[in-house]
Amino acid sequence: MNIHISPNPAEMGQHAGKAGIELIRHAVQAQGSANVILATGTSQFETLNQLLEEKTIDWSKVTVFHLDEYIGLPITHPASFRKYLVERFFNQVPQLKSYHLIDGEKDPEKECERLSSQIQAHPIDVAFVGIGENGHLAFNDPPADFETEKPYLVVNLDHACRMQQLGEGWFPNLEAVPTQAISMSIRQIMKSKAIICSVPDLRKAQAVKACMKGEVTNIHPASILQTHPNCQVFLDQPSASLLSNH
């Protein structure tokens, strides 16, 4: 695991985006196409902006998969991750080869099966991820399932996760935050050839310390990234503030 620390979220996102761009470009050059996972949430704003700045990638050779989505939330809701990706990325990037969004309004188990069959046919070259305040990776809250081979699964959202979504301003009150989601599994994320993890903000500092420097445990789900052969973590000074050697 390589950790990069920037002074602020804007520079962090620039560095994370540029690192991801190089990986995408290399995959397209080497095999004629690239398969990418995109995360959402406030932590990914700057990284996605940097990807959109890139003019040398042939996006028509790139297939995008989606990390997670709330169950029962319409795409028109401000917190919808489908809405987030469509507005912040898909509508602004040149034509993609294809993209596969999670529809949390359909039967969750059938949607997991549909997505799983799609992603199994597209080995992932680059996964863009973040880390939650509770250490979650995608919506795999602690204690996360490190064993399932299912690419996508239905998960329950814990109190800390739901409080984070409320605190970030996506919902008017805690009761409005869904209690379940469809999430890409830990093992599916870890099958990615390369992982770019962007984690800004002081509120993530404790999770960063636990996941980057603590033991690998499903109580701190993103700690599994320590075992990945090609994972780059991008932090800003506040999120890195509890790391002893920053």
Looking at residues 108-129, what average pLDDT do you find?
97
Distances (CA, A) of 246 to 16, 58, 208: 18, 36, 12
Q: How far apart are CA 182 and CA 143, in angstroms?
A: 16
- CA 19, 127, 61: angle at the middle one, nearest 5? 80
Looking at residues 30-41, what average pLDDT do you find?
94
How do strand 68-70 and strand 180-184 relate by DSSP bridges?
A: antiparallel
Q: What is the mean pLDDT of the chain?
A: 95
Please answer whether residues 34 and 67 qualify as being in contact, where contact means their C-beta atoms are separated by less than 8 angstroms.
no
Strand partners, 196: 128, 232
Residue 35 has pLDDT above 70, yes or no: yes
Percent of the chain, pLDDT > 90? 91
Please answer whether residues 63 and 35 qualify as being in contact, where contact means their C-beta atoms are separated by less than 8 angstroms.
yes
**pLDDT score at 234:** 97
Per-residue pLDDT reduced to its tens digit, 161-172: 999 999 989 999
Looking at residues 10-36, what average pLDDT do you find?
96
Which pLDDT band, with edges at 50, 70 and 90, does 56 fall under?
A: confident
Per-residue pLDDT reduced to its tens digit, 67-113: 999 999 999 999 999 999 999 999 999 889 999 999 999 999 999 99
Percent of the chain, pLDDT > 70? 99
Q: How far apart are CA 213 and CA 243, in angstroms?
A: 8
Please answer whether residues 40 and 55 qualify as being in contact, where contact means their C-beta atoms are separated by less than 8 angstroms.
no
- The single residue listed with the structure tokens 């890409």 is 184
